[in-house]
Amino acid sequence: MFKQLFTLLLALFIAAPAAFATTYQLDPNHTEINFTVPHLMVFKVRGNFNDFSGTIQVDSTNKTLTATAATIKTASVDTRNQKRDEDLRSDHFFEVAKYPEITFVSKKISGSGSDITMVGDLTIKGVTREVTLKGRFLGTNIDPWGNHRAGFEATGNINRQDFGLTWNKTLETGGVLIGDDVEIGLIVEAVRM
């Protein structure tokens, strides 16, 4: 009887490693959510979102994540240019009064260490699309105040048109003012809850 119980427990442990993941909360002071968009087809505008919250579930033994979720306040968009930021908050782009949040929820995470693939649902302006991010687990550590911390970074690309961010302007010399391909970058430091 004891042998059968031990075998069952061992099988459950092997089959469900995600059950042993630890939840960490994003540290906004040490986390960046940024983006890069082509401008005039010869330059790239870079920006960040400064107000967000979220969690990651960390499997430190296997050096990977098992789940992620984040909520980003669209009004916190920051490209270091007030006029451009106001335009991004307007009906031309994020329509922050109507769509105050961007959300991301992971659905599948595979790989470990420096080769992690995360597939999840990204929702912008009420439109949800599946996106893929490639990243790496940066590890865990304890800060000088005894807080357990975990790090992760990832990048991915989306087409802004897919999310209803369609405003643009045709240039006299040909081409358009803003490119459609948006590069997303995440540099995450999170604290164990």
Give domain 21-192's CATH superfamily: Lipid/polyisoprenoid-binding, YceI-like (2.40.128.110)
Q: 169 vs 153, which has greater pLDDT?
A: 153
Domains in the chain: boundaries: 21-192
Mean pLDDT lowest among 6-10, 56-60, 150-154: 6-10
Mean pLDDT of the chain: 91
State the average pLDDT over residues 151-170. Answer: 95
Contact yes or no for 53/29 (Cβ under 8 A) = no
pLDDT at 175: 83
Residue 14 banded pLDDT, cuts 50, 70, 90: very low
State the average pLDDT over residues 148-167. Answer: 96
- Asked if pLDDT for residue 154 goes beyond 90, the answer is yes
pLDDT in tens, 80-137: 999 999 999 999 999 999 999 999 999 999 999 999 999 999 999 999 999 999 999 9
Residue 4 banded pLDDT, cuts 50, 70, 90: low
Percentage, residues of the chain above pLDDT 70? 90
Hey, which bits of the chain come out as E strands?
22-26, 32-39, 43-49, 52-59, 64-73, 77-78, 101-112, 115-124, 127-142, 148-159, 181-192
pLDDT at 5: 47
pLDDT at 1: 57
State the average pLDDT over residues 189-193. Answer: 97
Q: 8 vs 138, which has greater pLDDT?
A: 138
pLDDT in tens, 25-50: 999 999 999 999 998 877 899 999 99
DSSP string, 92-141: TTT-TTT--EEEEEEEEEEEETTEEEEEEEEEETTEEEEEEEEEEEEEEE
